[in-house]
Structure 1
């Protein structure tokens, strides 16, 4: 397996069926935990940027000369988007010295919201997806991750503010 395929499929996770995008998102969860545990939010943020740019490269290589610019086995974009969705958990954990696993409802919300936005492609997510190029492949998941992170923050505000949990 060449480097682009190894990166683009996240070590072959993208070949899992059904729903390879969901498998890619699931693979991102333990990776995010390890990164956060080793270096807190700053390391997760740096890794997200690195995943985005290496994913962009891998997607370009894997789709060069192909009609399909977003084959289902490319799931590195899901890893980048899922990492961003988890920023809403990683940053408060890091900033307040909390164990990141104590914020487990945020992990679940981040995963579910990211998948929801990635699958339904509302507004700007759909715009990015319609680019039909490697940047669009990566960007739609980045935007879905941003929307999911805001969703996690809103849900946390409701849970901790309104409900007092």
Structure 2
């Protein structure tokens, strides 16, 4: 009779494995506050281009929020939204069973808010250009955005950071183009 093998480090997990992949729905959206946040208050449920719809939601919500909050308060909102979003993205990705699902659009929301916060004031045409540049960098994943997208994969805090990280890099690239254009 041979002894029972001890589990290896790979076999021991701190968190239970994610469920089988599932499609988000209105029921999923409302099942947990993290889902509601991560799915961009429902904009991530769009069957067509949820990242673009989430960015549009970010743009419209920014235009409303800037009337209620000072520049400093908007910066604090982005910082707090990043911390809360990190948690929300981890929970939603785990519950969906997909490491970086397309329906999670909080990363687009935060990144586009950051762009508008740093690049404003600018007119509607400038905002539209910022929108187009950000969507291009986020979707094409060229250069540093592609690198960032590959760095942090999986579930939990590391994977959720990865969900946010590549969009922040896309925001940086957008801001760099805007800065070069202005100067």
Report the TM range for the smaller structure's normalisation: 0.7 to 0.9
Q: Is the 8 A contact 1:89 1:106 kept in 2?
A: no
* Offset at residue 65 of structure 1 (A): 6.9
Which of 108, 111, 114 in structure 1 is aligned with 2:131? 111
Q: CA deviation at 1:43?
A: 2.4
- Structure 1 segments, 4+ long, off by >6 Å, are none
| 1:61-94 deviation line (CA, Å, top 9, x unaligned) | 112276521111100000011112213432xx3x
User: What are the superposed Cα offsets for residues 117-148 of structure 1, whole Å, 9 maximum, x if unpaired?
Assistant: 10111222222211211111001111111111
* 1:47, distance to aligned residue in structure 2 (A): 1.6
Q: TM-score, normalised by structure 1?
A: 0.81
Please report how far the alpha carbon of residue 38 of structure 1 lies from its aligned counterpart in structure 2 after TM superposition.
Answer: 2.1
SS at match of 1:13: helix
- TM-score under structure 2 normalisation? 0.73
Report if aligned partners of 1:20, 1:73 keep a CA contact under 8 Å in 2: yes
1:11 alignment partner, SS class: helix
CA distance in 1, matches of 2:172, 2:70: 19
Q: CA deviation at 1:32?
A: 1.4
| Cα distance in 1 for residues equivalent to 2:172 and 2:136 | 12
Unaligned segments of structure 1, at least 5 residues:
94-99, 158-165
**1:54 Cα deviation after fit:** 1.4
> Per-residue displacement from partner, 1:10-58 (whole Å, max 9, x unpaired)?
1111011210000000000122122222224222222211221111111
Unaligned runs of 5+ in 2: 1-29, 154-158
Aligned length: 147
- Distance, in Å, in 1 between the alignment partners of 2:71 and 2:173 is 18
Structure 1 residues 116 and 15, CA gap change in structure 2 (3 angstroms): same
Matching residue of 1:123? 143
Matched, 1:135 2:155: no
Of residues 34, 48, 59, the one that matches 2:89 is 59
Contact 1:87 1:149 in 2 (8 A): no
Greater helix content: 1
Cα-Cα RMSD: 1.7
